[in-house]
Structure 1
Amino acid sequence: MTTSKTISLLVLCISYQPAFSQVRVSVATDISAQRSLKEDQRFWALGQNIVFDWHFSSKGTAYGLISYYSVGKFKNSLTATAKSPTTSPQEIGFTNDAEVRFHQISIGWKQYLVGKFDAEIKWNLYTITGFGLLFGKANNSFSMVIDTSLYNPPAYPVSGKGHFKRLTFDLGLGWEIPVSAAAFVYSEGKIWIPTTDYPSKYLLVNDNAPLVAILSVGLRILF
């Protein structure tokens, strides 16, 4: 599903709520800093979340969001080994210039520990629990061409461009303060924990990866 189709679907869900006329809705957007935490796959990226909240009670809120981020860049030192013991040298070292980019669709629940979704004076504190589908894109560029008739390149990663997906368990904590009767400035810290780790040939590290931490600052509008 494309990002534009996802946005259209979420907007349609917001606009159609005759059976839940008491449910109020918020729309939020933010600026986010993303950190990939796995060793040998660490990088920073900037991005944005677009969030739709359905407030079923003063303390409980369901949410749906889409997020997209800039390209993160990092380098890996790799080694190709000779196929024959008579080949010299027996090993060739080279560098992989890697680029990785993430998008995510997520649904979940926010539980207010302090305050409530429509507080007008005091600050709010809430937990975030959700499940997401992460879409990843990787591009690997080796510093030299490996002669595969003489050398075995590493199995992971391979040179070139590719895509991968992961299911994620999303945990976080949010803080917000009202700036008017219907507007809130918020900050959130979240982590994406992969629940699937089937190998992608475009990633050097596949076990429990990607593991991502996110810090966001944004504005929520209550309707």
Structure 2
Amino acid sequence: MFYLRKIVTCTITLLMVGMSQAQQTKFSLATDASLVRSFKQDQRYWAFGQTVNFHFHFNPQNGAYAWICYSANGRFTNQVTADAKSSTTFPQQVSYINWAQLRFNHISIGWKRYLKGSFDSETGWSLYGYAGFGLMFGRVLNTQPVIVDSSLYAVPVLPGEGRFKRLTFDVGLGAEIPVGADIYIYFEGRTLIPTTDYPSQYLFVNENAPFTASLNLGIRLLFQ
């Protein structure tokens, strides 16, 4: 938790410094629809999502962002084996399939920079990138066809519903075009890289998971 507080404090400090040095900070509000892909082996799935994004423009090229996003349930299965805790238990192994549904909410703050164009370009297209830190709040629901006695067997993943948290490093690259009246259409790719592995008995895979990326199509409204 100390590591988490230190990173978040440093990020917020950098954003506050940028805002204090900006002569006139402008604001945009954006929203998008996402197609989310989880890449981790034994945790691969597709899901839909949505983001609400707040942009603070310090100058034509630099600014800060803060977003709130969520993903719908992604579904995947795991072939798991519960091993007996005692050599006298029969059978020594119980194999079965775990059906999982995983979804998450995510908040992120960070820095955004336009590599081509600017946040208020009126013609042509603009290219931008961003990076920041976020918190992922996940929920997983496991359904299993058999009931395994956990007093006799080491169960690799628990049945039922569980929750987990992850600190993430978030990066993205996108392009946008103006469509008039301070409205912009954008398309971007984004990835959420987990930097913590707090174990959850409801996740079959915990290390660097869930590792997701998404394609996002949305609209941004600039408030002049």
Common fold: TM-score over 0.5:
yes
Distance 1:85 1:168, change over 3 A: same
- AA of the residue aligned to 2:195: T
Would you say the 8 A contact 1:120–1:181 is kept in 2?
no
- AA of the residue aligned to 2:160: G
SS in 1 for 2:180: coil
State the 1:147 CA deviation.
3.1
Kindly, what percent of the aligned residue pairs are identical? 52
Would you say the 8 A contact 1:79–1:92 is kept in 2?
yes
- For 2:206 and 2:220, locate their aligned partners in 1 and report how far apart those are by CA, in whole Å: 35
- Paired position in structure 2 for 1:215: 215
Would you say the 8 A contact 2:103–2:140 is kept in 1?
yes
TM-score by length of structure 1 reads 0.86
- Paired position in structure 2 for 1:7: none
- Paired position in structure 2 for 1:112: 114
- For 1:214 and 1:191, locate their aligned partners in 2 and report how far apart those are by CA, in whole Å: 6
- For 1:84 and 1:197, locate their aligned partners in 2 and report how far apart those are by CA, in whole Å: 30
Deviations 1:59-91 (A, max 9, x none): 002111100110111100011223444544332
Q: Does residue 67 in structure 1 map to residue 69 in structure 2?
A: yes
- Paired position in structure 1 for 2:10: none
Would you say the 8 A contact 2:138–2:163 is kept in 1?
yes
C-alpha RMSD of matched pairs (Å): 1.9
Would you say the 8 A contact 1:139–1:160 is kept in 2?
yes
- For 1:68 and 1:136, locate their aligned partners in 2 and report how far apart those are by CA, in whole Å: 10
- AA of the residue aligned to 2:70: Y
- For 2:87 and 2:202, locate their aligned partners in 1 and report how far apart those are by CA, in whole Å: 29
Would you say the 8 A contact 2:197–2:206 is kept in 1?
yes
**Unaligned segments of structure 1, at least 5 residues:** 1-16
Would you say the 8 A contact 1:170–1:193 is kept in 2?
yes
Would you say the 8 A contact 2:23–2:58 is kept in 1?
no
- For 2:86 and 2:64, locate their aligned partners in 1 and report how far apart those are by CA, in whole Å: 60
Q: Does residue 140 in structure 1 map to residue 146 in structure 2?
A: no
Q: Give the alignment partner of residue 125 of structure 1, picking from 119, 124, 127.
A: 127
- AA of the residue aligned to 1:82: A
Q: Which runs of 4+ in 1 moved over 6 A?
A: none
**36-45 or 84-93: bigger deviation:** 84-93
- AA of the residue aligned to 1:142: Q
1:110-189 matches, within 5 Å, as 110-154=112-156, 157-189=157-189
SS in 1 for 2:28: strand
Q: Does residue 198 in structure 1 map to residue 198 in structure 2?
A: yes
**Unaligned segments of structure 2, at least 5 residues:** 1-18
- For 1:134 and 1:50, locate their aligned partners in 2 and report how far apart those are by CA, in whole Å: 15
Deviations 1:184-205 (A, max 9, x none): 0001101101111121111111
- AA of the residue aligned to 2:48: L
State the 1:34 CA deviation.
0.7
Question: Paired residues, what number?
Answer: 205
